[in-house]
């Protein structure tokens, strides 16, 4: 195979640079698309029941704001909310929470 001339080397260098620029632009476009999709999913599912799709409402449960679905009775806890309820001294709070988590009771106590 013949040696590349200086102008061929220069051309190859610029082609490689152009390919890298286009690859970087494509990666940026992919990231932007993923972010738009993430935002769309968040908007679609925000405060919607993961079981039945109805809107969740915030209710106070033993002094903690939790998300409750009045359609299917589901109760959903954000990070740290279960711990806050379990820290309560009142044993009824723990019993009610366990009942709620395992579907023993349907009421918000």
* Residues contacting 62, CB < 8 A, separation 6+: 85, 88, 90, 93, 96, 97, 109
C-beta closer to Zn ion: residue 74 or 99: 74
C-beta closer to Zn ion: residue 59 or 86: 59
Judged by CB under 5 A, does residue 85 bind Zn ion? no
Cβ count within 10 A of residue 82:
14
Among 51, 59, 92, 101, binds Zn ion (CB under 5 A): 51
C-beta closer to Zn ion: residue 52 or 86: 52
Judged by CB under 5 A, does residue 74 bind Zn ion? yes
Q: Which two tokens stand for residue 7?
A: 């102008």
Distance CA 45, CA 43 (A): 6
- Applying CB under 5 A, the residues found at the interface with Zn ion are 49, 51-52, 69, 71-72, 74
């Amino acid at each position: 195979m013949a040696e590349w001339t200086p102008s061929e080397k220069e051309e190859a260098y610029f082609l490689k640079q152009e390919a890298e620029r286009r690859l970087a632009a494509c990666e940026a476009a992919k990231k932007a698309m993923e972010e738009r999709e993430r935002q769309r999913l968040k908007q679609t599912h925000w405060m919607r029941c993961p079981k039945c799709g109805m809107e969740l409402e915030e209710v106070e449960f033993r002094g903690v704001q939790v998300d409750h679905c009045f359609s299917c009775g589901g109760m959903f806890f954000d990070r740290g909310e279960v711990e806050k309820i379990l820290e309560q001294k009142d044993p009824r709070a723990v019993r009610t929470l366990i009942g709620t988590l395992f579907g023993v009771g349907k009421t918000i106590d």
